[in-house]
Structure 1
Amino acid sequence: MPLPKGPVLKTVLVTGFEPFPGMPVNPTALLMERLPRRLIHEHRGIRFQFEILPTTWAGRFEVTDRLRKDLSPDAIVHFGVDGSRRTINIETRAVNRATRVKPDASGAHAETALLEPGAERARTSTLPVRALYQAAARSGLPVALSRNAGTYLCNATLWDSIGSGIPAVFVHVPPLPRGRFDAKLSLQQMERAAILILEETRRRV
């Protein structure tokens, strides 16, 4: 007589990025180290898998695509930093564009100006962005829905994850404050918002 099967464990892949030119300290890499200590690893049949991605165009396929295929997650929440942001931004779409001006962490540039020649111009985030926005807003911190994920690796990563068919979203955070008089969000504040976003994601998976 076959043994009864246990509940199927679902996985939410959560990623941050390594430093890159112009951003020697990436707060999202620090978040990937801190969040596992603040969130219950497995709850109600859903677990978080935290990873730090290389900030390279080659890593887009060698690391990030492999993670998606090896883990087969049920949802993906990417975190990245944007030096121009002052708020936490829930990205609502990715565009089929890649900057060829800004080098990656290895000094390389995107090979083409399109992420996927012949594909659509934009892809819409496939996790419920408004619900995640509302969750993050409960932190009391400034949060916004954004239609501009840029044209660097953050945008490319979201583009690929949406295209994989896995429900996905990207969250941009500001850089860390420099000095006591810098009013940008602290790492602890970003962490608070990230926890709310991830707990809401867990409820939605």
Structure 2
Amino acid sequence: MCVQIERTVMRLLLTAFDPFGGDAINPALEAVRLVSEKIGRFDVIKLEVPTVFGKSIEAVATAIESTQPDVVLCIGQAGGRYEITPERVAINIDDARIADNEGNQPIDKKIFEDGENAYFTTLPIKAMVEAIRDANLPAAVSNSAGTFVCNHLMYGVLYTLAKKYPHIKGGFTHVPFIPEQVARRTPVAPYMALDDIRRGLEVAIAAIDKHFDGDIDVNGGKEF
């Protein structure tokens, strides 16, 4: 008789980008810095990632190799969104409207020539959304991570996990602006308080722990 022993300690690699696009701060990075280093069964390992095509994937791939986490959760800024949005899918394309932090601006370039057209998250994103909403914060599943460095990194991480570490789960979540970024914008863009973003990420991570073996069966789709 085979007895399955539940793991009591796991590692979660939590990454966030440095500021980009002319902003002095990145809410993803500021929130990740505040996230607790112990959530449920997870020891949370934090990593700041350059907003640079290529180098972002290299940085996270190196951290995966050195830390051997059970989960990789990457966080990025999505200015213009109201909600915290776990991403469903990453696509194999770079198409940059603006340059990255080293001046790179690829147009219609594949991220990996031998990669799939798309990779889907392996995180329980429906459970993550429900947990964030239960904390009285807006959240939704997103079906597009864009075509800038956020999608680039999500795709690169899922590609790396599929090729080398199929036992590791991975995904990406976008967060809104924080008030400091929008106070002088006209019109004012959507924003969320930094501590609310921090709280949303913590309950999302707790949901990954709780639903580690599979997502919940609830609707998260959109008509367009």
TM-score for the superposition, normalised by structure 1: 0.85
Partner of 2:174: 172
Q: Match for residue 207 of structure 2?
A: 200
1:33 aligned residue: 33
* Aligned counterparts of 1:101 and 1:43: Cα–Cα separation in 2: 39
1:150 matched to 2:146? The reply is yes
Equivalences, count: 195
Aligned-pair CA distance for 1:201:
1.8
User: Match for residue 158 of structure 2?
Assistant: 162
Q: d(CA) in 1 for partners of 2:106 and 2:190?
A: 34
Which 4+ stretches in 1 moved above 6 angstroms?
Answer: none
Indicate if the aligned counterparts of 2:9 and 2:43 stay in contact, CA closer than 8 A: yes
Equivalents in 1 of 2:24, 2:82: separation in Å? 18
User: Please, which of 190, 193, 199 is the counterpart of residue 197 of structure 2?
Assistant: 190
**Aligned residues: CA RMSD:** 2.3
CA change 1:95–1:61 in 2 (3 A) is closer
Deviation at 1:203, TM superposition (A): 2.8
Query: For residue 179 of structure 1, what is the amino acid of its counterpart?
Result: A
User: Which one-letter code corresponds to 1:113 in the other structure?
Assistant: K
Q: Which runs of 5+ in 2 are unaligned?
A: 1-6, 213-224
CA distance in 2: counterparts of 1:160 and 1:182, whole angstroms: 29
- Any idea what SS the aligned residue of 1:197 has? helix
Q: Identity over the aligned pairs, expressed in percent?
A: 25
Give the gaps of 5 or more residues in structure 1: 1-6
TM alignment of 1:17-166, pairs within 5 A: 17-35=17-35, 39=36, 41=38, 43-44=40-41, 46-110=42-106, 113-163=109-159, 164=161, 165=166, 166=168
Contact map agreement 2:87 2:145 (CA 8 A) in 1: yes
Deviations 1:116-170 (Å, cap 9, x if unpaired)? 1243221110011111111111121211111100011111111122221321121
Decide whether the 8 Å contact of 2:177 with 2:191 is kept in 1: yes
Give the number of the structure whose residues are more often strand, by fraction: 1
